[in-house]
Structure 1
Amino acid sequence: MVLRREPTARQLRLGAELRKLREAAGLTAIEAAALLGANRVQISQIEAGLVGVGEERLRRLACHYACTDGEFVEALVAMATDRTRGWWEEYRGALPTPFLDLAELEHHATLMYEVALLYVPGLLQTTDYARAVFSSRVPELTHEELELRISHRSARHTVVEGPSPVPYEAVIHEAALRIRVRDRPTAKAQLARLLELSEAEHITLRVIPFDLDGFARASSTMTYVGGSVLKLDTVVRDVPHGSAFVDSEAQLGVYRTRFRKVKAVALDPGRSRDFINRLAKEL
């Protein structure tokens, strides 16, 4: 079996979940391998996402690991047998892997929550806004790198604007709405785009004004992506060199609580639209 040189985040997640099940069952990699008639290296490669695992083997492992959560096992089987080659594969080798991993994660999402403090969320950005954001990168991007990132970000919009959009909820701080990443026309067009998107049934936008009380301990930029089952949810955090995927059950619970706190102090959708409309009129 050919080893994957660079497993995707989805492949890594499948392997990690199988490792968690094995460890919860109190089995070593050697013991798990013996149950499959394999060797420890093969189990390690599966858990590292370096090789795939077939449906029959995966079900046998789940059985040996005494996993009684049938819905979770079915979700893992779906991950293991998925052969989707999405639009993001066109960018493989041209963009850093985290860009592709994020697009794949969003493609399989069942829901999405976002908290944005300084920038409008990428899925809601106009082309000019995205160009301004990427143009501010240090070191400066080449023209080709810039255009690839803008094209990729635009393609990601299918998650909320395509034929099968996912339920999407964002809480955006007033700072992100007021900061002019480029100029007045770009800012005005971006606010108009937010107002347009907020009318969609599957999109809910809320605003945190500067003068709203109770926000201090709830502030944290985040993207929460729902999986096919709760255990496969993922949080995406920005880090200095890209994006970090958080998937431990304990941390997922923390971020769910954080989102509830932010949502609780934000303006409701109607008042948020009024707020955005007032800002647009000020420009």
Structure 2
Amino acid sequence: MGFRTDISERQRRFGDELRRLRNSAGLSSAEIGDVLGMKSPAVSHTEAGRLGLNLERLDLWLDTCGAHDPEYRAGLIAMCKSNGKGWWTEYRPHVLPAALDLAEFEAAATGFSSYQTHLIPGLLQTKAYSEVIHEYAESKVEFRRRRQHVISVEDAPNFHAVIHEAALHMTYGGPGVMRDQLNHLIEMARLPHVAIQILPFDCAVYASTDTAFMVMHGPHSRLDTVLLENPHRSTFLGDPEGVAAFRRKFDRIKGLALPPLDAASSGPSPAFRDSWGMIQHVRYKLLGR
């Protein structure tokens, strides 16, 4: 089998997991290679994602390193067996590799925890809002719309979004586009698996809320992946300590945000602020613009 020239984030993450397991077991590349019938360089290339691994050797690797948790093993087996192909494959000529990696991770996720600072989360955007964000690049807009199916299908995974109030006031595309976007948030919140909270401007506690991120939950917490978004490139984070830090950060931000949007409510109590009231307040302000 030849070396891979283009390594996907899934392949890279699979190799990282194998390396962490080997290191935790206190084994060298040569020692695990002896068990698997592989030379040390082949082990290193496998851990770097440049070489694949058959299921028989994967089972041996997991047994030798003491990885017996059934959910964790099943998750690694699925990563090993995947050929990386899906609906996103047809968009390969039109979007960046990081977008393809994101779609693949989303398709395998069991849940999402998203925090956004100045934008509505991609999975909750209307077409018109996405068009403005992507400067009317048709293929990119269509790609985002296809990504959104992951939370709109039957038995979709839970999606919990905390959105900074700043994102509600950014009138990208004009007041009409933003009104429709806010209406869409209300409609999405009617779905039983979608929770939306707003972090208000007047939050008096600093919680390091400057970075947008999304935790994509795997079949086991050890297989969670964090997407860090910035204007230049997307970064995927998979090391356990880093992922755990972002899970704690999301829990903290969630605790500071207004209570979740309840679209079934007739309105917030005058003495009680919630995310529904915040969205409606901004929406009514836009009606006059």
Does the pair score TM above 0.5?
yes
Cross-structure match for 1:13: 13
**1:110 has 2:113 as partner:** no
Note if contact 1:174-1:207 (Cα within 8 Å) is conserved in structure 2: yes
Residue 131 of structure 1 and its aligned partner are, at CA, apart by: 1.3
Distance 1:73 1:124 in 2: 32
Of 205, 210, 227, the match for 1:236: 227
C-alpha distance after superposition, 1:231-263 (max 9, x if no partner): 000111013432111111111121111111111
Note if contact 1:198-1:273 (Cα within 8 Å) is conserved in structure 2: no
Residue 132 of structure 1 and its aligned partner are, at CA, apart by: 1.0
- How high is the sequence identity, in percent, across the aligned residues? 33
Describe how 1:1-283 pairs up with structure 2 within 5 A: 1-83=1-83, 85-135=85-135, 146-214=137-205, 216-219=206-209, 220-269=211-260, 270=262, 271-283=274-286
Distance 2:277 2:166 in 1: 16
What TM-score, normalized by structure 2, do the two folds share? 0.90
- Partner AA of 2:48 in structure 1: A
Distance 2:67 2:193 in 1: 34
Residue 22 of structure 1 and its aligned partner are, at CA, apart by: 1.0
Distance 2:275 2:59 in 1: 47
Note if contact 1:117-1:221 (Cα within 8 Å) is conserved in structure 2: yes
Q: Aligned-residue CA RMSD in angstroms? A: 1.6
Note if contact 1:195-1:277 (Cα within 8 Å) is conserved in structure 2: no
- Partner AA of 1:280 in structure 2: R
Note if contact 1:114-1:169 (Cα within 8 Å) is conserved in structure 2: yes
Residue 73 of structure 1 and its aligned partner are, at CA, apart by: 2.0
Note if contact 2:215-2:227 (Cα within 8 Å) is conserved in structure 1: yes
- Partner AA of 1:75 in structure 2: G
Distance 1:275 1:23 in 2: 49
Note if contact 2:94-2:140 (Cα within 8 Å) is conserved in structure 1: no
Distance 2:67 2:285 in 1: 58
Distance 1:69 1:188 in 2: 47
Note if contact 1:223-1:236 (Cα within 8 Å) is conserved in structure 2: yes
Residue 213 of structure 1 and its aligned partner are, at CA, apart by: 2.5
Cross-structure match for 2:269: none
Distance 1:14 1:205 in 2: 32
- Partner AA of 2:20 in structure 1: K
Q: What stretches of structure 1 move > 6 A for 4+ residues in a row?
A: none
Distance 1:45 1:113 in 2: 33
Residue 164 of structure 1 and its aligned partner are, at CA, apart by: 3.5
In terms of fraction of residues, the more helix-rich structure is 1
Residue 281 of structure 1 and its aligned partner are, at CA, apart by: 1.8
C-alpha distance after superposition, 1:7-34 (max 9, x if no partner): 2111111111001111112222122212
Distance 1:43 1:241 in 2: 33
Distance 1:240 1:34 in 2: 45
Residue 124 of structure 1 and its aligned partner are, at CA, apart by: 0.6
- Partner AA of 1:251 in structure 2: G
What TM-score, normalized by structure 1, do the two folds share? 0.91
Distance 1:16 1:264 in 2: 32
Distance 1:279 1:70 in 2: 47
C-alpha distance after superposition, 1:95-115 (max 9, x if no partner): 210000001111111010111
C-alpha distance after superposition, 1:112-146 (max 9, x if no partner): 011111010111111111111122xxxxxxx7xx2
Distance 1:212 1:75 in 2: 38
SS at 2:115 equivalent: strand
